[in-house]
Amino acid sequence: MSQPVPKSKFFGDIFPTRFSALIFVGYIVFFIAQSILVKASQTNRSYSYNVTCVVMLTELLKLVLSTVLYLKDHNFPTLCCEVSKYRKVLLLYFVPALLYCFYNNLAFRNLQHFDPTTYNLLMQFRVVITGIVFQVLFEKRLSGQQWFSLCLLTFGCIIKQFSVTGESTQASDMLCSCLAGVYNEFLLKDTGADLHIMIHNLFMYLDSIVCNLVVLAWNGQTSELVNAESLRHIFGEPIVLLIIANGALCGIIVSVFLRNLNSILKTFAGALDLSFTAVLCWFIFSIPIDMPTIVAISIVSIATYLYSQNPVVNKVKETKPKSTSDIDLKDKLLVSPV
């Protein structure tokens, strides 16, 4: 079993294990790649493929990966037994699944109007909503320093907004992401705390597929799933396949992230990728890094540092193991790579 990272002023409470630090870095890398890939797949600010179909195929790949990872250490009858036993949790997952369904589809739409740096900067405003919901759902009060860092982060977003003309981010995009992330953490650490993390993933992705099917039906686009031309634009384009594959890895790492860390730290991880995204967009898309962007990123970075001095630590709810193997499984779940 991995040993805890030695306690220090910065890392002590933020990363309880080396694995959690690795997850933090992996989260940033995959999410930087995702926004850049989506932007690169556009032609004249439009997509040649059906966005909802791509989102649903991404959820399907997540489902397959989660199933394979679970079956690596368990048999199929055990999987069926767990699904049946925790069917209530399966139903509860329809709430974050629907929210993530809206968020994932809206992310594609917003990236039609914004470059990845601008979009990610403006989306950081959701941290304030996350902080409020986090307090209500987990009954944990944020300190004055934490609230100051959240307000400073918001100020950085406002500065960036001054350089954006003619467009505005979807408020529903931010709200869906915040509520889904916090509610998902609630299911991981409270209602389904004694459930294997890959079963959590199975429930989420099954429900997400259903939600995206409903969206396709609502828009009268279900035929896109069997239309040869539509499928050619998806499976015949390497960059679209990369979006699906990278998106699936993002989904897996989010669930592991929330299990080991918390949703506010997840939001700040998103803030840390801003500098890297700005530089990469400059190299790849020749998008200039103007002064409002530099100032906004600097303020967001300071806010992140202030938060890290007094992080929210949210422990997984303690459950009584049934056997020694259950103890080993819990240890493996919390500290081993997936």
Q: What pTM did the predictor assign?
A: 0.75
- Per the structure, the count of domains in the chain is 1
In a domain, 131, yes or no: yes
Please, what is the end-to-end C-alpha distance for the chain in angstroms? Answer: 14
pLDDT of 310 reads 61
Cβ contact 277:116 at 8 Å: yes
**CB 136, CB 178: distance < 8 Å:** no
State the pLDDT at residue 217: 94
CA 247 to centroid of chain Cα atoms:
9
Q: What sign does the dihedral 103-14-137-251 (CA atoms) show? A: positive
Transcribe 282-328 into DSSP letters.
HHHH-----HHHHHHHHHHHHHHHHHHTS----PPPP---SSHHHHH
DSSP state of 322: S
Instruction: Give the C-alpha separation, 296 to 263, whole Å.
Output: 22
CB 114 within 8 A of CB 278: no
What's at 292, amino acid-wise?
P
Contact criterion met (CB below 8 Å) for 235 and 53? no
Distance set, CA 320 to CA 139, 194, 310, 326 (Å): 23, 9, 30, 9
Residue 55 lies in a domain: yes
In a domain, 230, yes or no: yes
In this prediction, residue 85 carries a pLDDT of 87
pLDDT at 147: 80
At residue 66, the pLDDT reads 92
Question: What is the C-alpha to C-alpha distance for residues 67 and 184, in angstroms, rounded to an integer?
Answer: 19
* 3-state SS assignment for residue 73: coil
Rounded to whole angstroms, how far apart are CA atoms 150 and 210? 35
Q: Crossing angle, helix 18-40 and helix 324-335, to 10 degrees?
A: 50
Q: Across the chain, how many H-helices and E-strands are there?
A: 16, 0
For residue 271, the enclosing domain spans 29-335
Q: What is the pLDDT of residue 325?
A: 36
Looking at residue 172, what is its pLDDT? 57
Token pair of 338, please?
């997936």
Which of 72, 70, 94 is CA-nearest to residue 82? 70
Distance CA 210, CA 229 (A): 23
pLDDT at 171: 55
How many angstroms separate the CA atoms of 266 and 254, rounded?
8
DSSP string, 155-223: HHHHHHHTT--S----HHHHHHHHHHHHHHHHIIIIITTTS-HHHHHHHHHHHHHHHHHHHHHHTT-GG
- What does the pLDDT read at residue 195? 78
Q: What is the pLDDT of residue 215?
A: 92
For residue 115, the model assigns a pLDDT of 85
Q: In angstroms, rounded to a whole number, what is the distance separating the alpha carbons of residues 124 and 74?
A: 39
Is 117 part of a structural domain of the chain? yes
Q: Is residue 116 part of a domain?
A: yes
Helix (H, G, I), strand (E, B) or coil at 93: coil
In a domain, residue 7? The reply is: no
- Stretch (H or E) spanning 224: none
Residue type, 319: T
In this structure, the number of other CB atoms found within 10 A of the CB of residue 237 comes to: 14
What's the pLDDT score for residue 42? 92
Could you read off the pLDDT tens digit of each residue along the chain, which spans 338 residues?
A: 445 444 444 455 566 677 777 888 888 889 889 999 999 999 888 999 999 999 999 999 999 999 998 998 899 999 999 888 888 888 888 988 888 888 888 889 888 888 888 887 777 766 667 777 667 666 667 778 878 887 887 787 777 666 665 455 555 556 565 566 666 666 655 655 677 888 888 998 999 999 999 999 998 998 888 888 889 999 999 999 999 999 999 888 877 776 677 656 666 676 667 778 888 889 888 888 888 888 888 887 787 677 666 655 554 455 444 433 333 333 333 333 33
Is the four-CA dihedral 129, 134, 136, 139 of positive or negative sign? negative
Amino acid 59: pLDDT: 95
Residue 11 lies in a domain: no
Confirm whether 16 is domain-assigned: no
